[in-house]
Structure 1
């Protein structure tokens, strides 16, 4: 049976080669598209998970409504508002930071956590003043939760503890201020007070919005210069299983009025873009595979019409319907197997060429590095497995339909029609 299938494929080399090329290009396209899109998604997801908290506990900002003041006034008192309350509560610290610390210390799902204190200030260097944010951290705890240490291009995070009134400034912000490492800059707090701080290092995350506003200092320094002694505004947390971050955050949210959000809840809009990319990728691939399947169907359908005499002879010498179906299905399966295998090789070659390809021009010395300076390709083995089975399955289905039609041909009717 296999010999007959191969013989029929070789008897029409041009059609066979064109079909193989179609299957090969379809499989290669799936591998390449998936590698590029999933590589981008993996990179962005890694940045979201590791550069920031997997779970963040922060003060809850609530909109003021009439219900906000329910129970505040004396019982049985009728309150009529001349102007209903509006605006938002502006809480700048956690309601019970020590309680959260105790809970996190005893939760086995927590790998590490770190307190933070974030405040809005104005940075002044000479005649230049720029609004920004200063975040007080515990360097040793922070490095266990996030990958901030890998973003430090000059200096060391431990300098924040050793140097007293020192800061680590974002590359974009330090560029706008016209300063450099070792310079002193003034910060102006919301209360109008000025404090000099020395730049001990530079942070370059590749995120321009972050690098042009962010400054890190020790949490004690921020508490002192902003008059926030003992205050904590955020707790950033790293958990053992990042996929369970959302369920853990939802569970913890009932324990306090503080806001508890996981990374995927915070960046839900970005993840929705990923889902849209998956739909586009799968739709494009399905279209390509569908075209290939129609090509296989048309070719085998033509073969059935051209090989009616051979089919009649085979049926006459003992081939039943099942044998006839297997003969043509084997041809489709062989085309699918060889074409898919060659497509995987071609896709892997294309991905290896694209992987690491520079995107845009190289950053200048001292400027903000791009968030993604080179193409990143995902080499997940499931991409290749799915590409192979998609091509193989489509070849099988496309060959089964004409094979079934061929099995229904009657030898007597074929001979009669040939004679007339």
Structure 2
């Protein structure tokens, strides 16, 4: 079978035998180094994608994608909600009223953001009903002053379903006996756990109870919460909706104002770690330079003979470019395959290791999740493999060019 001369010789040099075992060993270590670099980069970025996905699912599954609220209580939120629902990017809506205050129980105090919700509508815009560890969201009934609290609050107060806690509002009531803070006793009707800081700072009550605490009419609400088809469209959609409903003075707000910094920090961290890992791949790729320099030094006599037989400098250069590129292709291919396999199975592997050692690496008491998440993105794999192949190819140019400059007479002088 016909093969170009440069390809044939380059492949033979890659798997050199007899007295050149050391050159083969150097080629092998270059492949292994490149494969490990690609493997680690794919695995680490997949784990970071997994953490990003979990944060986005859990935190943004609880906090609103966007809201439109009024400076005065909304009397006809259902009519406004009907207009809001007509927007093509809105998936679901639910009314809300927010109150800030303090929860207290047996001397313990905890600041909290209490949100008044309509249980049947809240299920459409929030994941809380999927993360109840005790009780149900439907247990919130108007007039009964029930409350659903986070798992951290329940653990801190040592309370469970049926226990009483007190909510203190940042207002004062003037009575004949003097000025007293406004407070209300609530019954714990449920406990949720989403595995984020929201478990210690958020509580839910029925929206009619929130209206009573705010001294509004029971049908009045603060605003409407939106669940969008694409959460990254939240700033645009909230402004469009606020400006569309002309008869209401609505104030738009979206998740980028409340939690945008968190996700920007995650994206920046992913970018910086990606760059650092890319340097590891670069070091592995440029090990090919040392491999080819040693090969060129070892093969000077062969190069001189090829030149005297009529091989052009371009062919000599192509020989060593083939060798270096082959090392890069094989190393990148092995690293890519192992990286994909590792990224798809790292969650199960870590769980098995935890079971074997009897130790949990990610405790839910410390971290917001109790397992190692991973999300493989093929665009990351493509980018990493392309970068590794590109750097491997660039690493072949200088040694191959030096080989093409070898003078036959000079190389054979001492042979």
TM-score under structure 1 length normalisation: 0.80
Q: By how many angstroms is 1:337 displaced? A: 1.4
How many residue pairs get aligned? The number is 381
Structure 2 CA distance for aligned equivalents of residues 390 and 317 of structure 1: 37
Q: Classify the secondary structure of the residue corresponding to 1:198.
A: strand
Q: By how many angstroms is 1:402 displaced? A: 2.0
Q: Classify the secondary structure of the residue corresponding to 1:274.
A: helix
Give the direction of change, closer, same or farther, for the CA distance of 1:130–1:34 in structure 2 (3 Å limit). Answer: closer
Partner of 1:76: none
Q: Deviations over 1:276-309 (max 9, x none)?
A: 2133223212321221232111221232233222
Alignment equivalent of 2:15, drawn from 10, 16, 19: 10
Q: Classify the secondary structure of the residue corresponding to 2:412.
A: helix
Give the direction of change, closer, same or farther, for the CA distance of 1:273–1:369 in structure 2 (3 Å limit). Answer: closer
Does residue 257 of structure 2 align to residue 246 of structure 1? no
* Correspondence 1:216-365 to 2 at 5 A: 216-229=204-217, 230-252=219-241, 254=243, 258-348=250-340, 350-351=342-343, 352-353=345-346, 356-357=350-351, 360=361, 362=363
Q: By how many angstroms is 1:335 displaced? A: 0.5
Does residue 31 of structure 2 align to residue 43 of structure 1? no
Structure 1 CA distance for aligned equivalents of residues 308 and 251 of structure 2: 79
Alignment equivalent of 2:191, drawn from 202, 210, 217: 202
Partner of 1:24: 35
Partner of 1:406: 403
Partner of 2:113: 133
Structure 1 CA distance for aligned equivalents of residues 158 and 258 of structure 2: 33
Structure 1 CA distance for aligned equivalents of residues 346 and 123 of structure 2: 35
Q: By how many angstroms is 1:404 displaced? A: 2.8
Give the direction of change, closer, same or farther, for the CA distance of 1:417–1:214 in structure 2 (3 Å limit). Answer: closer
Give the direction of change, closer, same or farther, for the CA distance of 1:34–1:238 in structure 2 (3 Å limit). Answer: same
Q: By how many angstroms is 1:416 displaced? A: 4.5
Q: By how many angstroms is 1:128 displaced? A: 5.5
Give the direction of change, closer, same or farther, for the CA distance of 1:16–1:193 in structure 2 (3 Å limit). Answer: closer
Q: Deviations over 1:4-55 (max 9, x none)?
A: 2221112222211121122112112212221222222222122233222111
Give the conservation status (yes or no) of the 8 Å contact 1:94–1:258.
no
Q: By how many angstroms is 1:333 displaced? A: 1.7
Give the direction of change, closer, same or farther, for the CA distance of 1:206–1:128 in structure 2 (3 Å limit). Answer: same
Q: Deviations over 1:232-284 (max 9, x none)?
A: 22321111223322322343455675432332343221123123213322321
Q: By how many angstroms is 1:362 displaced? A: 5.0
Extract unaligned runs of 5+ from structure 1.
60-90
Structure 2 CA distance for aligned equivalents of residues 109 and 361 of structure 1: 37
- Please tell me the root mean square deviation across aligned C-alpha atoms, in Å: 3.0
Structure 2 CA distance for aligned equivalents of residues 128 and 402 of structure 1: 71
Partner of 1:386: 383
Structure 1 CA distance for aligned equivalents of residues 268 and 126 of structure 2: 28
Q: By how many angstroms is 1:378 displaced? A: 2.1
Q: Deviations over 1:143-174 (max 9, x none)?
A: 11121112211122122248843222222323
Alignment equivalent of 2:409, drawn from 395, 400, 415: 415
Q: By how many angstroms is 1:120 displaced? A: 3.0
The structure that is strand-richer by fraction is: 2
* Correspondence 1:30-109 to 2 at 5 A: 30-58=41-69, 93=73, 100-109=80-89
Give the conservation status (yes or no) of the 8 Å contact 2:286–2:391.
no
Give the direction of change, closer, same or farther, for the CA distance of 1:309–1:193 in structure 2 (3 Å limit). Answer: closer
Give the conservation status (yes or no) of the 8 Å contact 2:11–2:323.
yes
Give the direction of change, closer, same or farther, for the CA distance of 1:130–1:307 in structure 2 (3 Å limit). Answer: closer
Give the direction of change, closer, same or farther, for the CA distance of 1:283–1:114 in structure 2 (3 Å limit). Answer: same
Q: Deviations over 1:65-110 (max 9, x none)?
A: xxxxxxxxxxxxxxxxxxxxxxxxxx67469856742431321211
Give the conservation status (yes or no) of the 8 Å contact 1:95–1:257.
no
